[in-house]
Amino acid sequence: MSFLPITVGVLVAGGIFLLCQAGLIRIIFGITLLSHGANLVLLAAGVSAWRGEPLTGQGDPAEAGDPLPMAFVLTAIVITLAVTVFLLALARIGHDDDTLRVPDTGEDHRA
């Protein structure tokens, strides 16, 4: 039994569960969990665990690991951090109240 698919499944399931919640902070944490799950999938695509180091001049290039998925993950981590900070700032400015539904009482509150 492999540990990586279970971890990705738990992260994605937790992220989707949090995205379905009402609070903006929970939605932000859900997006963060989903991005971590996607990063693990990208790292698994690089299969660097059983391949050689991608260094020039050392070993056979056909047996070297692909450095492109690692670069994608590094870029995704930076983008996720920026989006998370931006969304947390929006949640702080908006007092985390823009995703809660206020029931309509039908009363006219105009002055």
Report how far apart, in Å, the C-alpha atoms of 59 and of each of 26, 50, 54, 63, 64 are.
Answer: 47, 14, 9, 8, 8
Please give the pLDDT value at position 30. 94
Indicate the pTM of the whole model: 0.70
Residue 32's pLDDT is: 94
**Contact at 8 Å (CB) between 29 and 87?**
no
Distance CA 24, CA 30 (A): 10
Q: At what angle do helices 3-19 and 24-45 cross, to 10 degrees?
A: 150
Q: Are 34 and 15 in contact (CB under 8 A)?
A: yes
- pLDDT tens digits, residue range 20-55? 988 888 999 999 999 999 999 888 876 665 666 666
What is the pLDDT at residue 79? 94
> Residue 22 contacts by C-beta under 8 Å, 6 or more apart in sequence?
99, 100, 101
Alpha helices (H) along the chain: 3-19, 24-45, 68-93
User: In whole numbers, what is the pLDDT of the chain averaged over residues?
Assistant: 81
Instruction: Express each pLDDT in 77-98 by its tens digit.
Output: 999 999 999 998 988 887 655 5
Question: Measuring CA to CA, which residue among 44, 100, 105 is closest to residue 73?
Answer: 44
